[in-house]
């Protein structure tokens, strides 16, 4: 099941957003009123998409986005009331997946969340593939090391056996050079 973290200090806005998410998505929605609460909740249980307001009581929504994405890369969507150009540029620099201005177009927000969930699912699949690949590579390297050690032992045994054979042949061969 998809997990969405919603960080909205305004109770009315929070209720609207949660109703929209509950209706549009089969997702587990976790709510927080502050950035600190959101970080605590996300540390306890990682979320697939984070939806936050730009202005939070204890920190900027962009600061929250940076910290959330530092924990694990995933889409963060920001809702802002009359954002400044600097805030919009900051959102781009922070790697925010989307920035919405209020009043929010519910259809566009749903599309952004759907896209974010799909992107996160793709990232998680890719991470699992990479982990399996790393595991296979470690196994191949370990097997290769063991094989090289066995080959080295066999080669040493063969060289030793050839030396012994050479010495036996030399010892068994009569001296054919006439002594004058």
Delimit the domains of the chain by residue range: 2-131
Could you tell me the CA-to-CA distances from 161 to 38, 164, 166, 171, 174 in Å, in that order? Answer: 71, 5, 9, 15, 22
Write down the pLDDT at residue 177. 60
- Residue pLDDT, tens place only, 54-105: 999 999 999 999 999 999 899 999 999 989 999 999 999 999 999 999 888 8
Q: Supply 5's token pair.
A: 């973290």
The torsion defined by the Cα of 34, 36, 41 and 42, in degrees rounded to 10, comes to 110
Q: What is the CATH number of domain 2-131?
A: 3.40.50.2300
- Residue pLDDT, tens place only, 132-145: 999 999 999 999 99
Tell me the DSSP string of 85-138.
HHHHHHHHHHT-SEEEESSP-HHHHHHHHHHHHHHHHHHHHHHHHHHHHHHHHH
């Amino acid at each position: 099941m998809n997990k969405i973290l919603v960080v909205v200090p305004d109770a009315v806005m929070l209720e609207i957003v949660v109703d929209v998410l509950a209706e549009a998505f089969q997702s587990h929605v976790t709510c927080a009123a502050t950035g600190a609460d959101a970080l605590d909740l996300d540390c306890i249980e990682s979320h697939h998409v984070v939806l936050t307001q730009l202005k939070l009581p204890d920190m900027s929504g962009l600061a929250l986005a940076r910290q959330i994405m530092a924990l694990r890369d995933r889409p963060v969507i920001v809702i802002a009331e009359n954002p400044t150009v600097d805030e919009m540029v900051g959102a781009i620099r922070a790697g925010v997946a989307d920035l919405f201005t209020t009043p929010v177009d519910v259809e566009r927000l749903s599309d952004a969340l759907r896209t974010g969930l799909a992107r996160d699912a793709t990232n998680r699949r890719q991470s699992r593939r990479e982990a399996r690949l790393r595991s296979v590579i470690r196994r191949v390297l370990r097997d290769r090391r063991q094989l090289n050690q066995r080959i080295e032992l066999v080669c040493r045994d063969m060289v030793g056996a050839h030396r012994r054979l050479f010495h036996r042949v030399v010892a068994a061969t009569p001296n054919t050079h006439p002594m004058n």
